[in-house]
Structure 1
Amino acid sequence: MSVPPMPRRTAYAVFAALAAVVVLVSTAIFVGVGGRDRNVNEAAQGTRNSAAPASSGSWVGTWSTSAAAAEPNTLRGLSGMSIRNVVHTSIGGTGARIQLSNLYSARPLTITHASLALAAAPSNPTAAAGTMRRLTFDNRSWVTIPPGQAATSDPVRMNIPTAADLLITTYAPQASGSVTYHPHARQTSYLARGDRTEDTAGAAYTEQSPFWRYLSSVDVWSKEAQGSVAVLGDSITDGITSTAGANHRWTDFLAERLRTEPGAPRLGVLNQGISGNRVLSDGTQFPPNNPSGLSRFGRDVLDRTNVKAVIIELGVNDILRIPHQTDPNKIVDGLRRLTEQAHARGLRVIGATLSPFYGHRGYTPLLDSVRERVNAEIRAGKVFDEVVDFDKALRDPAQPLRLRPAYDSGDHLHPSDEGYRAMARALPLDYLRGSAAAEL
């Protein structure tokens, strides 16, 4: 039996309905990974921004940091100031979104204006021509973040280069309580009085800062990257003695290897190091400053965007900091608990041996024996899925007890830039491929 032709008006209606479905599905694909659905309405924003392309790809973390504490002497926040954070991407993409944290304030934080741009030059507060984008939150130009919480922006369309400096600027007009910050950025950021959020020129940004404030992550929309690797660590990972502004932390050198070495997995690198961090113990304030690796692992590592592998470099401060942890079994147990949490998410864990601290003013043979016993368990494969031997990488092979010249001695015992590079070289990149978690 023949079927009569569909009336033209009905055909148009069907076509329109199908087109609407395609748009909805494309939008869902774009926003569905690593964050809640967002339908960016350019007219509602009042800007020239638009959502990133509705095409195949995924959200991937390109940069992040860990909220470490409440900034001293900021009980009223930094009201009336524009904060221009400078951060460095590990991978690029065609769209971006950010996360802001109010973890350490007892009061709501209201950001009334936020923007993202490429820096015109490294570590420079001036925006590259044509790159300034206003950021919105649920299609609003403002967001109020409750105490202890975080907020993610709507995505913006923008070509984000690999290994580039971004400017993320926020403005809060009213007192908002203590500022959540990361104190050892090894990067100069900037402040300006008044709302200078979308200033493309950097002239108003006359105050320099060694901190990152409020900003906790930047994601990019990528068709190439497979995901990201998140690194939980202490000051060694924080890169506390690396050259400021040069991006010479060992995680930066790892990101460089992932970008340039043939056959390397395509991954963003997320540095979740906090100087002085321990596996077992928090800091003394409330909420705890410098939260332990165990207490922050979910927020700082497992909940980051599209994490495919985890690296843990932690444990030395449990031994060196007062009160000293002299039971290696407690440290090993804490590291195993971190590994188990990652396994519950289907993630493999690469663990680092505890780096040497001979020459540190807190060194004693007893404390070093604790470190060696922890390392023996790590090397035996009883803690992590894979092991990277930072202890070996940072020793002088000619004098086993001594450290390489790339190490500093004194109150802070850390590598120089070349020491950080040696650490990155010690990590076999095959460890980062997306294999299933192992059974210990």
Structure 2
Amino acid sequence: MAKVGRILAVLLLAVLPGLAAPALAHPQPAALPLWTGSWETAPSGTAAARPGAAIRNVVHLSVGGDAVRVRLSNRFGTAPLNLGAVTVALRAAAGPDALPGTLRTATFQGAPAVTVAPGQDTVTDPVPLRVPAAADLLVTVYTPGDSGPATTHQTALQTSYVAAGGAGRAADTDGADYTATVTRWYYVTGVDVLGDSAGSVVAFGDSLTDGNGSTPDTNHRWPDRLAATLRAGRYGVLNAGISGNRLLHDGVGPSALTRLDPDALDRAGVRALVVLEGINDIKGSPAADDVTAYADAYRTLVARAHARGIRVIGVTLTPFRGFAAYTDAREAVRQQVNGFIRTGGAFDAVADADAAVRDPDDRARILPAYDPGDHLHFNDTGMAAVADTVLKALTA
């Protein structure tokens, strides 16, 4: 594994110059610990508040560290959000139980509770807790009152847990009182770790990145598969996909251009941005068939990332013949947009997911082996194919 890490660190210099920690390529003293994003979800909308409840969110880290800090959001809320308690713990196994000895109380400038204004995010103080790579972390949030609509990520593809009578329950190691389940993430939008990680890669997109079509509770989204490989080089992977999101217009969640900073560029330790976004504009309403608009949007995304010293990988848009919104005219737009992604010179590298997942006998259709049945998204095998394609672009 150490040899894989050294090789990967050298290869990543092609697209991520200056990112590989020297210790990977040449034995040297460890660098100073840095904060790096280990897990993310992008806020996608709201759900009804759960006053008095404790919500135990299950999140899957990509890289480990010696401390964590948690990002929480009231971005889509309409009233001040009162967080009465927030705790973190390693998950014991499947279910809501915490690993004994790992539960920690998070604070906010030293206080155990915080009020978050509508439209705002907050970050906990550093929490001393050693977490391994690929660990499940329990982030429990207790909301004592009704703070109005809760900012959530709808398509979690992960079971989390709720204790209806939540007073004091955030501090429970035993999850026996967490008798209800939810499939959204409530309030939590990110976990950073403090350690020797080399930085993070943000996967930015729509439902294809969010993981629709993959098996729930297995972490088989393509960013998860990418994380499993990049872990050897000590890179975190952050999933900023939102199902229904659009490049040019607001859809589910703000448009890509609107949410780029909070969901990608402002995250900890970002070294590269992988963009797979645009298919919902092509197949959505109002019609978006001006290829120049896509090109301008992609160039804007890249320019803003470059201003932060972040490299950008463009991913070609994948086929969708057989999906209800497919038309030949929309397929023509997809082909033109992909032509720009491949040859327009906007991106630092290109991952040709279209070529990787299309049916060679019908290039407007996903290969049946990768199709979960809706002819738009990817099953677990298809997700792995996309991850491999992105990895090649990162290491070419």
Aligned positions of 1:35-434 closer than 5 A? 56-71=32-47, 74=48, 77-122=49-94, 124-194=95-165, 195=167, 196-223=169-196, 225-260=197-232, 265-283=233-251, 290-405=253-368, 406-410=370-374, 413-429=376-392, 431=394
Determine if contact 2:351/2:393 at 8 Å carries over to the other structure: no
Determine if contact 2:54/2:140 at 8 Å carries over to the other structure: yes
Determine if contact 1:179/1:214 at 8 Å carries over to the other structure: yes
Rounded to whole Å, the distance in 2 between the matches of 1:382 and 1:214 is 38
Rounded to whole Å, the distance in 1 between the matches of 2:333 and 2:380 is 28
Q: Structure 1 regions of 5+ residues with no counterpart?
A: 1-54, 284-288, 434-440
Rounded to whole Å, the distance in 2 between the matches of 1:214 and 1:293 is 20
Deviation at 1:397, TM superposition (A): 3.1
Deviation at 1:401, TM superposition (A): 4.1
Letter in 2 for 1:290: G
Determine if contact 2:154/2:184 at 8 Å carries over to the other structure: yes
In the alignment, which residue of structure 1 is the partner of 2:19? none
Rounded to whole Å, the distance in 2 between the matches of 1:103 and 1:155 is 22
Letter in 2 for 1:58: L
Secondary structure of the 1:426 match is: helix
Determine if contact 1:360/1:409 at 8 Å carries over to the other structure: no
Secondary structure of the 2:172 match is: coil
Which deviations, in whole Å up to 9, do the C-alpha atoms of 1:170-227 show, x marking residues without a partner?
A: 111111011000000000001002221011111100110000010010011112x111
Rounded to whole Å, the distance in 1 between the matches of 2:356 and 2:275 is 16
Rounded to whole Å, the distance in 2 between the matches of 1:214 and 1:374 is 35
Rounded to whole Å, the distance in 1 between the matches of 2:163 and 2:291 is 48
Determine if contact 1:359/1:409 at 8 Å carries over to the other structure: no
Rounded to whole Å, the distance in 2 between the matches of 1:400 and 1:79 is 50
Call closer, same or farther: CA 1:432–1:116 in 2, change over 3 Å.
Answer: farther
Determine if contact 1:229/1:432 at 8 Å carries over to the other structure: no
Rounded to whole Å, the distance in 2 between the matches of 1:291 and 1:108 is 21
Secondary structure of the 2:171 match is: coil
Rounded to whole Å, the distance in 1 between the matches of 2:248 and 2:298 is 9
Letter in 1 for 2:275: I
Identity, in percent, stands at: 45
Which deviations, in whole Å up to 9, do the C-alpha atoms of 1:131-173 show, x marking residues without a partner?
A: 1101111000011101110111111111101111110001111
Secondary structure of the 1:167 match is: strand
Secondary structure of the 1:197 match is: helix
Deviation at 1:400, TM superposition (A): 3.4
Secondary structure of the 1:131 match is: coil
In the alignment, which residue of structure 1 is the partner of 2:11? none
Letter in 2 for 1:296: R
Rounded to whole Å, the distance in 2 between the matches of 1:376 and 1:102 is 39
Letter in 2 for 1:255: A
Secondary structure of the 2:346 match is: coil
Deviation at 1:402, TM superposition (A): 3.6
Rounded to whole Å, the distance in 2 between the matches of 1:279 and 1:418 is 26
Rounded to whole Å, the distance in 1 between the matches of 2:145 and 2:231 is 42
Q: Structure 2 regions of 5+ residues with no counterpart?
A: 1-30
Rounded to whole Å, the distance in 2 between the matches of 1:129 and 1:111 is 24
Rounded to whole Å, the distance in 2 between the matches of 1:218 and 1:234 is 21
Rounded to whole Å, the distance in 1 between the matches of 2:190 and 2:129 is 17
Rounded to whole Å, the distance in 2 between the matches of 1:428 and 1:242 is 19
Letter in 1 for 2:371: Y
Per mean C-alpha deviation after superposition, the further-off stretch among 420-429 and 131-140 is: 420-429
What TM-score do the two structures reach when normalised by structure 2?
A: 0.89
Deviation at 1:428, TM superposition (A): 3.6
Which deviations, in whole Å up to 9, do the C-alpha atoms of 1:63-98 show, x marking residues without a partner?
A: 011011122xx2xx2110001000000001111110
Higher relative contact order (CA 8 A, sep 6+): 2
